[in-house]
């Protein structure tokens, strides 16, 4: 099994509430995030979205698709949301939002393990490609969100600490 520990930063010229609303509206992601092909609601969750269960299907710059269930496990409007993934990937995704004057800084932490046999076999050789691929998907998400909100994406970074670690 291979564990991914990846972090991405977006800085958007938008108020935190607008960014929050777009991110919690997961079923809308395919309309603005190029690599999100489908979001299927399995369970709606509570009024705040906590407990919602969705199946997400993603593609990427590399020729493969991933599908996994994501359950909203924590929601603190408008600064933090967390989901747990099961399926082709297993683990946790965390969105951190911070208001900075009239802009919003977003940090996404994605800590997951691969379950697909082919990915587990190839990860030691393809770790740089998998990391690059994740960064491409997230970069498109930042650009797509900015277009969707009609604002500028002020910066987009994937810190060098993003890594893939092989586990026994």
Please spell the DSSP secondary structure of 101-154, one letter per residue. Answer: TTEEEEEEEEEEEE--HHHHHHHHHHHHHHHHHHHHHHHHHHHHHHHHHT--EE
Reply yes or no: is the peptide bond before residue 78 cis, omega within 30 of 0: yes
67 burial (CB, 10 Å; 0-12 / 13-18 / 19+) is: middle
Q: What is the CATH number of the domain that holds 67?
A: 3.30.530
Count of domains forming the chain: 1
- Tell how far CA 112 is from the center of its chain: 11
Predicted confidence band at 118 (pLDDT cuts at 50, 70, 90)? Answer: confident
- Does residue 24 belong to any structural domain of this protein? no
Q: Is the pLDDT of residue 10 over 80?
A: yes
- Does residue 60 belong to any structural domain of this protein? yes
Can you give the pTM of this predicted structure?
A: 0.90
- Does residue 115 belong to any structural domain of this protein? yes
Q: What percent of the chain has pLDDT over 90?
A: 73
Q: Give me the residues paired with residue 23 across strands.
A: none
- Does residue 29 belong to any structural domain of this protein? no
CB 108 within 8 A of CB 7: yes
pLDDT in the model for residue 166: 42
Read off the pLDDT of residues 80-112 as tens digits, 9 standing for 90 and up: 999 999 999 999 999 999 999 999 999 999 999
- Does residue 19 belong to any structural domain of this protein? no
Q: Is the pLDDT of residue 114 over 50?
A: yes
Per-residue DSSP letter, 21 = H
């Amino acid at each position: 099994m291979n564990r991914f520990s990846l972090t991405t930063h977006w800085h958007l010229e938008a108020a935190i509430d607008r960014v929050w609303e777009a991110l919690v509206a997961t079923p809308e992601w395919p309309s603005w995030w190029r690599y999100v092909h489908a979001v299927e609601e399995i369970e709606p969750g509570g009024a705040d979205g906590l407990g919602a269960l969705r199946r997400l299907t993603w593609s990427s710059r590399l020729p493969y698709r991933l599908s996994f269930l994501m359950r909203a496990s924590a929601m603190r409007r408008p600064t933090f949301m967390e989901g747990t993934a099961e399926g082709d990937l297993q683990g946790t995704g965390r969105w951190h939002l911070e208001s900075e004057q009239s802009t919003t800084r977003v940090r996404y932490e994605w800590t997951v393990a691969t379950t697909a046999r082919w990915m587990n076999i190839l990860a030691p050789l393809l770790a740089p490609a998998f990391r690059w691929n994740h960064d491409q998907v997230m970069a498109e998400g930042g650009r797509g969100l900015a277009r969707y909100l009609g604002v500028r994406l002020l910066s987009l970074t994937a810190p060098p600490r993003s890594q893939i670690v092989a586990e026994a």
